[in-house]
Amino acid sequence: MKLHHILLGSMITLSLLSGGAVAADDKAAKQAEIRQVTQAALAKFYAAQPDLKAKVEKAPGYAVFTTYGLSFLVGGAGGKGLAHNNRSGKDTYMSMAQASAGAEIGLAESETLIIFASAKSLDWFVSKGWEGGGGGGMQAGASGKSAGVAGGGGPGSAYYTLTKNGLQAGVAVRGTKFWQDQDLN
The per-residue pLDDT for range 91-123, each reduced to its tens digit, is 999 998 877 666 556 666 788 899 999 999 999
What per-residue confidence (pLDDT) applies to 7?
Answer: 38
CA distance 34 to 40: 10
Residue 114: HSE in the Cβ half-sphere, 13 Å Cα cutoff:
27
What per-residue confidence (pLDDT) applies to 37?
Answer: 94
Residue ranges per structural domain of the chain: 44-180
Percent of the chain exceeding pLDDT 90 equals 39
pTM for the predicted model, two decimal places: 0.72
Distances (CA, A) of 121 to 111, 156, 157, 169, 183: 20, 6, 7, 30, 24
Residue 64's closest CA among 140, 164, 137? 164
Is the confidence at residue 158, as pLDDT, over 80? yes
Residue 121: how many other CB atoms lie within 10 Å: 21
Residue 93's closest CA among 30, 159, 158? 30
| Beta-bridge partner residues of 168 | 106, 139
What is the rounded average pLDDT for all residues in the chain?
74
The helix (run of H) or strand (run of E) holding residue 94 is: strand 91-116
CA distance 124 to 109: 27
Residue 110's closest CA among 145, 85, 59, 135? 145
Average pLDDT of the segment spanning 140-168 = 56
CA distance 41 to 145: 11
